[in-house]
Amino acid sequence: MERNLLLTLQYDGSGYHGWQVQENARSVQGVFQQALFSVLGVRPDIKACSRTDTGVHAREFCLSMKLSHGIPTERLVGALNHFLPPDIAVTGCRPVPPDFHARYSCRGKRYVYEIWNHPVRNPFLYGRALHYYHPIDAELLNRAAQHYLGRHDFTAFCTLDKREAGDFCRTVTESHVERDGDMVRFTVAADGFLYNMVRIMTGTLLGVQQGRFAPEDIPAILQSRDRSCAGVTAPACGLYLQKVFYDLPEEAAANEE
């Protein structure tokens, strides 16, 4: 009997050209599909929750696939982790309804951007956090981040490419900056994200720190719908997909966060 399975992964994206399979580059999906083939002898059609770009990390990445193989879910997790490299891990596998789709059933995501704010770089965070050596006023950036909350057109915070154009409005439900020692974290959750949206939001916050913008400038930047009005695109190294939200029974408590 065919089952529809939801798998959760974690990965360090430093050594990969993003999630999606690419012809001449190593991707997380390519490595994962090879592990699947080693375990199952088939290559199921995978539906991913999103596409992470080169160097972006995931603490929770979700994918769904329909599988006729009878391997128990708990054995599938262990078998896949046996064949996966140390920088990718499957953290869970569970059956979901037949019409569940990792991308289209998703009702929101949370991202975290991490900044190591110290005069001296931390070699253990190389490729895993942005090193910003000038002092950061986290309270100032948090005040600016509040202007992202609500439903807005985020055209000014999107890198336009060959992807199909559409509705650039998104609803941001969580946006704040916090300091934990020398680590500064920008956390943002929304019902969806545009290409490079979180990295441009982060770059704009750093522009506030640098005096290029005031916190109160952000509404005007949003209203401009002009990418040149916003800040730079922050490097990929500090970005983590933190949480993916679905309307599933076991997710009920987590969705109340």
Based on the domain organization, do 134 and 39 belong to the same domain? Answer: no
pLDDT in the model for residue 253: 34
Q: What pLDDT score does 249 carry? A: 78
Does 112 lie in the same domain as 100? Answer: no
pTM of the model: 0.92
What is the domain extent for residue 88? 3-105
Q: Which of 53, 153, 182, 217 is catalytic?
A: 53
248 found inside a domain: no
CATH of residue 51: 3.30.70.580
Residue 114 has pLDDT above 60, yes or no: yes
In tens, the pLDDT along 183-219 reads 999 999 999 999 999 999 999 999 999 999 999 999 9
Q: What is the mean pLDDT of residues 47-65?
A: 95
Give the list of residues 6+ apart from residue 56 with CB closer than 8 angstroms, or none.
Answer: 13, 18, 236, 239, 240, 241
Q: 133 exposed, middle or buried (CB, 10 Å; 0-12, 13-18, 19+)?
A: exposed
Q: Is 73 exposed, middle or buried (0-12, 13-18, 19+ CB in 10 A)?
A: middle
| 124 and 223 assigned to the same domain | yes
Task: List 227's β-bridge partners, or say none.
Answer: none
- 53 assigned to active site: yes
Q: How far is 7 from 61, CA to CA, in rounded Å?
A: 8
Can you tell me the distance from the alpha carbon of 243 to that of 174, in angstroms, rounded to the nearest whole number?
Answer: 12
3-state secondary structure of 163: coil
Confidence of residue 162 (pLDDT cuts 50, 70, 90): low
What is the spatial distance between Cα 209 and Cα 191, in angstroms, rounded to a whole number?
A: 27
Counted domains in the chain: 2
End-to-end CA separation in angstroms for the chain: 36
Specify the pLDDT at position 48: 96
